[in-house]
Amino acid sequence: MLQRHTRAVCAAMAATGALLLTGLSGTASAGTAASSAPPPHGPTAAQTLRTADTSAAVLHAMRRDLGLDRAQAERRLANEAEAGATAGRLRGALGAGYAGAWVRGAESDTLTVATTDAADVPAIEAGGARAVVVDRSLAALDAAKARLDRAAPHTSTLDAPVWYVDVPTNTVVVEAVRPAAARHLLAAAGVDGDLVRLRKTAERPRPVYDLRGGEAYYYINGSSRCSIGFPITHGTQQGFATAGHCGRAGSSTTGSNQVAQGTFQASVFPGNDMAWVAANSNWTATPYVNQGGQNVQVTGSTVATVGSSVCRSGSTTGWHCGTVQQLNTSVTYQEGTVSGVTRTSVCAEPGDSGGSFLSGSQAQGVTSGGTGNCSTGGTTYFQPVNPILSSYGLTLRTTTGGPGEPGPGNPGGTWSAGAVYQAGATVTYSGAGYRCLQGHQAQPGWEPPNAPALWQRL
């Protein structure tokens, strides 16, 4: 694991080109930004997911990094929001034959849904998507990748550091510095080579280091730096989620102003790259991510589809945008393998670790590691935020609900505000059954009848 030491940072960067990523801190004096309440009949797909309260700063970063003007960026976010809901509905309808979905085009205006059954093509096209018939279901690809994940702790994967399910090619991809290392991993996992596509790479990912998302915080006696991911609450306790490689349980932190801030309560790395810090009474968790001194609102945590735009905030490089390349990726650092991260085309540099990834106004994850820099470009991986929330019982701070704020009375049912739901999960609410279309943390105002972009009535 790479650590950022403030007194040696210039020499370290010059000597090693080490890639470190940072986060944001939220103080009691953090400014506020205007917010819009959800419409009385529930948010539409576009409003609920990634266009709601999207700031000018996010749109500017998308214009710079993705080559879009404002209108194109807004259309892209709206299209991605609708694509996620459509893909979720089709996933439930196709069942075992579902083989993944992705968006393409400058404005993400083409949604493709894959299936193993040609008989599903009319239903996919009727749903507004392009249909592709493939050989393997998403469940089969996920199972093959899971076997690689189980074999990795017992096999050297430093020369085969990355593997993921690639839905557009209907394969599991293994990226390797030495192809022999990839073949060794496949043999150890007992994975059929026909399922796998090998890709030669020279990249060796590393963790990136250095209560408003994207701002710096310090640890190890103030000599190392990371970034705040997303402010959260744990009951009445306020704090933030960040990367696990930034600190261990019991480690203390100070804010970007060098004022005592909090203590790591739990941390996992490698395996996953997740942690949370409980802040002291001098710090207040806000529902914002920092963008050059401006507040970018966080309104939820709906998972973005492959191909969707995503932006990152870090204390070294600020805002940069790119696209989601693959979900469910495994990457090997010197310290070990981290699984379940998302691979992106967003760049990052030393000091950005732990920082916030957003798609529109939706929290996606915290920066884990990667390769390259923001001059020449690179690849960055983030730990999805929803698993952090569910693992530690945290509630994301959003502009749609306060800390620990309960939802309206539930007239019977299993749906619960604050719970994290994955696509395909089923709940009951007011006597009716619903299926989750897109992974998210439930919030007051997003009850199943009010959020058709997130829930489908059964």
Respond yes or no on whether the N-terminal peptide bond of residue 403 is cis (omega within 30° of 0): no
- pLDDT of the residue at 95: 95
In a domain, 413, yes or no: no
In a domain, 118, yes or no: yes
User: Which residue in 273, 315, 345, 352 is the catalytic one?
Assistant: 273
- pLDDT of the residue at 45: 47
Q: Any catalytic annotation for residue 353?
A: yes
Q: Any catalytic annotation for residue 142?
A: no
- pLDDT of the residue at 19: 29
pLDDT band for position 441 (50/70/90)?
Answer: very high
Q: How many domains does the chain have?
A: 2
pLDDT tens profile 345-357: 999 987 899 999 9
pLDDT tens profile 230-269: 999 999 999 999 999 999 999 999 998 888 999 999 999 9
pLDDT band for position 292 (50/70/90)?
Answer: confident
Same domain, 64 and 203: yes
Main-chain dihedrals φ then ψ at residue 113, nearest 5 degrees: -125, 130
Q: Are 367 and 208 in contact (CB under 8 A)?
A: yes
Exposure string of 271-290, with b = 16+ CB inside 10 Å and e = fewer, is: ebbbbbbbbeeebbbbbbbb
In a domain, 411, yes or no: no
Same domain, 27 and 53: yes
Query: How many Å apart are CA 57 and CA 290, to the nearest integer?
Result: 10
Same domain, 4 and 153: yes
* Domain span including residue 443: 420-457
Same domain, 317 and 427: no
Alpha helices in 292-407 (DSSP H): 385-392
Per the model's pLDDT, the better-predicted residue between 220 and 126 turns out to be 126
pLDDT band for position 17 (50/70/90)?
Answer: very low
Q: Is residue 123 predicted with pLDDT exceeding 70?
A: yes
In a domain, 414, yes or no: no
In a domain, 157, yes or no: yes
Per the model's pLDDT, the better-predicted residue between 350 and 453 turns out to be 453
Same domain, 151 and 283: yes
- pLDDT of the residue at 435: 96
In a domain, 151, yes or no: yes
Main-chain dihedrals φ then ψ at residue 331, nearest 5 degrees: -135, 135
- pLDDT of the residue at 174: 97
Q: CB 391: neighbour CB atoms within 10 A?
A: 15
- pLDDT of the residue at 411: 65
- pLDDT of the residue at 256: 87
Same domain, 174 and 218: yes
User: Which residue in 234, 245, 320, 440 is the catalytic one?
Assistant: 245
- pLDDT of the residue at 30: 26
User: Which residue in 224, 339, 353, 361 is the catalytic one?
Assistant: 353
- pLDDT of the residue at 336: 95
Same domain, 341 and 425: no
Q: Is residue 404 predicted with pLDDT exceeding 90?
A: no
Query: How many Å apart are CA 257 and CA 383, to the nearest integer?
Result: 26
Same domain, 363 and 258: yes
Per the model's pLDDT, the better-predicted residue between 209 and 218 turns out to be 218
In a domain, 412, yes or no: no
Alpha helices in 49-98 (DSSP H): 56-66, 70-94
Q: Is residue 3 predicted with pLDDT exceeding 80?
A: no
State what percent of residues in the chain have pLDDT above 90: 72
pLDDT tens profile 362-374: 999 999 999 999 9
Q: Are 385 and 277 in contact (CB under 8 A)?
A: no
Main-chain dihedrals φ then ψ at residue 94, nearest 5 degrees: -80, -25
pLDDT tens profile 31-81: 223 333 333 334 444 444 555 567 787 888 899 999 999 899 999 999 999
Q: Any catalytic annotation for residue 36?
A: no
- pLDDT of the residue at 31: 28
Query: DSSP code of 60?
Result: H
Q: Are 410 and 430 in contact (CB under 8 A)?
A: yes
3-state secondary structure of 295: strand
Average pLDDT for residues 171-183, to the nearest whole number? 95
Average pLDDT along the chain:
85
Query: How many Å apart are CA 270 and CA 243, to the nearest integer?
Result: 10
Same domain, 89 and 132: yes
Q: Write down the residue that tokens 């917010």 correspond to.
A: 35
Same domain, 181 and 45: yes
State what percent of residues in the chain have pLDDT above 70: 85
Same domain, 296 and 169: yes
Q: Is residue 14 predicted with pLDDT exceeding 50?
A: no
- pLDDT of the residue at 222: 75
- pLDDT of the residue at 66: 93
Same domain, 271 and 209: yes
In a domain, 153, yes or no: yes
